[in-house]
Structure 1
Amino acid sequence: MTDLKIPTAGDAVSELQLVEWIAENGAHINEGDVLYSIESDKSVLDVESPASGKLVILERAGEIFPIGHLVGRIESRWPHSVAGMHRDTLPAVVQGAICNLFAWVEVA
């Protein structure tokens, strides 16, 4: 799971407005997709997803939040214990399933 927090926007800024959610709650998100827009007194910035997975929105647009406030999460398909593993550390049954999948894709 990856937390989505209000990012820093400069040394003098202590809070930002979450202007709008561009992605919808529950949508599948890819790393780099634009999720939401934030606004300071000087500009509006789009915030991209740091990870792929399902978007869970925790806060409404239109509100002002302090820097670092949790506004949403990206839930990955795999638990971190599996998603972060190197291929050689995966259980043999998982490695076999992955090899079979790639063999099937090459044939198709």
Structure 2
Amino acid sequence: MKNVILDGMDKGEWYGRQALADICGVSRNLVNRLVVELVNEGLLVIRQESRGLEFGLAVTRSTATVQVAAPVQRAKIAPRAARPSIATGPYRPKWRPMKAYDRYARSHQQLCEEMR
């Protein structure tokens, strides 16, 4: 199945998980597992984009030499332990409402009325 993923990818192109699942015709969960294995084997490279992780082939061929596209990154996909939230008291802001603003607004209003 890994060969199907590698054969479906083009050099220099980046693919998301859903695109790889569509290319291979398998579930996204299977693609996630296979992609992590391919990254750990050094065959794929990960880059972080605003849409999420994207994957590309780790090696590109030029006319005469083989060049590494980017340093191999290990997959950092691990389950996180959930922590329960701690109940606290009611929310109290650390600032106090401005009391002087009301006085300033009233004095400004009086000044405007006098000017009329």
Shared fold (TM-score, shorter chain, > 0.5): no
What band does the TM-score fall into relative to the shorter chain? under 0.3
Q: Which TM-score applies when normalising by structure 1? A: 0.23
Structure having the higher helix fraction is 2
Q: Which has the higher strand share?
A: 1
